[in-house]
Amino acid sequence: MASTSCTLVVFIFFSCFLCFYISPFAEAASNVSYDSRSLFVDGERKLLISAAIHYPRSVPAMWPGLVKTAKEGGIDVIETYVFWNGHEPSPGNYYFGGRYDLAKFVKIVQDAGMLLILRIGPFVAAEWNFGGIPVWLHYVPGTVFRTDNEPFKHYMQNFTTLIVNMMKKEKFFASQGGPIILAQVENEYGYYEAAYGEGGKSYTQWAAKMALSQNTGVPWIMCQQWDAPDPVINTCNSFYCDDFKPSYSTMPKIWTENWPGWFKTFGGRDPHRPAEDVAYSVARFFQKGGSVHNYYMYHGGTNFGRTSGGPFITTSYDYDAPIDEYGLPRYPKYGHLKELHRAIKLCEQALLNNKPTLVHLGSQQEADVYEDESGTCSAFIANLDDKNEKTVQFRNASYTLPAWSVSILPDCKNVVYNTAKVGSQTSTIEMIPEQLQPSSASPHKDLKPLSWEIYVEKPGIWGEADFTKNGFVDHINTTKDTTDYLWYTTRLNVDENEEFLKKGNKPTLLIESKGHALHAFVNGILQASGSGNGTVSPFKFKSSVSLKAGNNEIAILSMTVGLQNAGSFYEWVGAGLTSVKIKGLKSGIVDLSNTTWTYKIGVEGEHLGLYDVDGSKHTNWTSVSTPPKKQPLTWYKAIVDPPQGNEPIGLDMVHMGKGLAWLNGEQIGRYWPRKAPNDKCVKTCDYRGKFNPDKCNMGCGQPSQRWYHVPRSWFKPSGNVLVIFEEKGGDPTQIRFSRRKLTSLCAHVSEDHPSFSTNLQKNIASLEIKCPMNMHISAFKFASYGTPTGTCDSYSVGDCHDPDSTFIVEKRCLNKTACIIELTKENFKTELCPGTTKKLAVQATCS
């Protein structure tokens, strides 16, 4: 549809006489080089739009679909970190299978005809456990992370070299004909370098030199690293990077992280970033000379198992990204950005081969014009006013700009896109619950409901104690992150003459902890639970407890919820108890902190391998007709069939407490339906003005995460083993698999909406609707051309209405995966209601 537009700009490359400085690096890399304006790939200037998809945050069966959806969304490049602690779980022992099959992921990107940015790090932050660095490295004597420290540099260089050599062996670097065009060393170190003094400065120089010595044949980048040495390119990470300038004038302007949403924490609100603002930030970046742009994240995915960091980062890493956690396009964000990418690409040659002319059109309105001597021209017109719509005059024409928006004119005349005008479809996604079904392989499936097996742990020390010590140990230093759990146990003798025993009062247990959470048991009974949060990990715990005369066992189950993933000297941040006191005895406050404590690492079920399909067969599970409710420290097992259909699956844990879940031995992850606070949320989000993570919070009073992604590829046709470890008590009879299903599509567009008509001189608005893969448009719940009112699920016919609307859209779209409907007189009665701006609104279902 854009062939004419492409013709308008194709000659710009040949007619441009501007001279950009070309870096000496261009001579070293035959396939990828750069100058002050852009990258060159195989000798051709490239304006690149990239999408972050982290391979271990999805599963191999999803990778081809994710890459395909990204490419259909107008993406040129896939970006990923490399996750060191997933690949080297112990020194010198490497793993590149399953979700960590990096080479397979890169090959899928290559086979899709796309490029790749490999951010080796190997520190990544990324809300990933310990920032991606293996925990074992912290315990190598003399090691300090991310500074001029020999042990750290030794292991960092070893791993970096391992990854580079692996990519070279597969011929994945562009210099070998492969897809990798950029590599990154370190990550956002500029924020923390000063804290390390001279060691930080020398470390930066060492890291850059070490990376360059790998001889990849492609440029290296360091994000947020203002002193990155030439020829390493410093890049930008932010919500907005239009004002960013590289460290050297010889380098292109690269945006490695544009955050289209934000992460969630257990107990935190649900942040959202409006599509209009994301589009505004991208358009402004390219308007101001940007050359490579990357969405972090384009698909966030899932923190399976215990991979989430923070601490307190949820198992979901959805990130409000254009592709949701389950792999479905998130409309309208996905569609709106797809249209943006198309508009930018219409301007590519003009942008890359001409210097801009800045034209002031008002106090907060401006245009950047990219034009050559032949008359070929592209322009971006921006309204920086975050409250008011403005009408401006540009080249003898009038343009109305919504507040906080950018209009894109590939020919300097016709607007094909405005960031604030969303014409993309929206979709209604629902989680359709299904009761857990007994496995069809079970001989008793038709005779009784789902049967459960349970294994109940005893609070406190199981088996032999690991050690005894006066006072407390640090939780992380003790477990070395082999488990979330550490038992702290001690005994308290209560005199039979204590007043509270006679009066029925209860003493108070006072605990202070460095984090992250705990369950307090007295004499085998759960008294209460406490935790920090995603903002502050340390916490104070206060609860009345039931004590008896004589000896009382106090058992505290301390828990981590992901390890620190960023910050200066972050590897030294600890967790666990620092103070335990009892208040309400006749002797006053009894401080137990320095008494004798007995320790046990992990919970018994982990030691027995109850989560493992084979290991669990050798354990004395107990069969029950009805699983117990509200019972702490309980393992549940059920043999189930997969849910019907082929939609993505979420495990609904809203009626459970806190714990871990597995399917067929695969780690689903931590679950914790902890509720967000009841305040500081919005019903609708105003896209206007600069975004911050707290601007558009939703989900107040709701669980931060209710559903937990279970990939379809993890299911067998029957005999699936679902294992749950519940820490504090819940109702397992309410556990459900839920199918993530698109239940309806809605779209509306007005006659004056910017369009990608093949003839830029004639604006023809159009509406596009598209069902997910393997689905077709099966029905229309609503269709009206005229002046329809309302929004999705509540559309109604207005005073002006073409009675043939439904017939027309059905004729165009029924039984198709996707369709485009133009608002033309050939389709609709455009003569209706003269003088009125008409629009088309539809609501469809897919099946």
Question: What dihedral do alpha carbons 169, 170, 172, 178 form, nearest 10°?
Answer: 120
User: Hey, is 294 helix, strand or coil?
Assistant: strand
CA–CA distances in Å: residue 281 to residues 277, 419, 695? 6, 9, 16
Backbone angles phi and psi of 575, in degrees to 5: -155, 165
Question: What dihedral do alpha carbons 7, 9, 11, 14 form, nearest 10°?
Answer: -150
The neighbouring-strand residues paired with 33 are 40
Q: Supply 386's token pair.
A: 């975050």
DSSP at 654:
T
The neighbouring-strand residues paired with 357 are 369
d(CA 26, CA 38): 12
| 442: Cβ contacts below 8 Å, ≥ 6 apart | 451, 639
The neighbouring-strand residues paired with 78 are 51, 116
Active-site residue list: 188, 257
Backbone angles phi and psi of 21, in degrees to 5: -70, 130
Are the beta carbons of 8 and 2 closer than 8 angstroms?
Answer: no
Q: Look at strands 452-456 and 634-640 and give their pairing.
A: antiparallel
Are the beta carbons of 569 and 199 closer than 8 angstroms?
Answer: no
Neighbours of 70 (CB within 10 A): 28
Q: What is the 3-state secondary structure (H, E, C) of 502-526?
A: HHCCCCEEEEEECCCEEEEEECCEE
Q: Which helix (H) or strand (E) holds 770?
A: strand 766-770
Q: Which of 334, 327, 263, 439 is closest to 740 using CA atoms? A: 327
d(CA 283, CA 242): 9
Sign of the alpha-carbon dihedral angle for 116, 121, 127, 132: positive
Q: Which phi-psi region, left, alpha or beta, contains residue 410 (left: φ > 0; alpha: ψ -120 to 50)? A: alpha
Neighbours of 446 (CB within 10 A): 8
DSSP at 310:
B
For residue 342, the one-letter residue type is R
Are the beta carbons of 46 and 40 closer than 8 angstroms?
Answer: yes
Are the beta carbons of 285 and 347 closer than 8 angstroms?
Answer: no
The neighbouring-strand residues paired with 368 are 358, 380
Beta strands (DSSP E) in 478-633 are: 485-494, 508-513, 517-522, 525-531, 539-544, 550-559, 577-585, 588-591, 596-601, 622-624
For residue 143, the one-letter residue type is T
- The DSSP result for 668-726, as a single string, is EEEE--PBPPSSS--SS----S---TTTTEE-TTSBS--EEEE-GGG--SS-EEEEEEE
For the chain, how many helices (H) and strands (E)? 16, 44
Neighbours of 525 (CB within 10 A): 12
The burial class, CB within 10 Å (0-12 / 13-18 / 19+), for 20 is middle
Q: Supply 68's token pair.
A: 């395909």
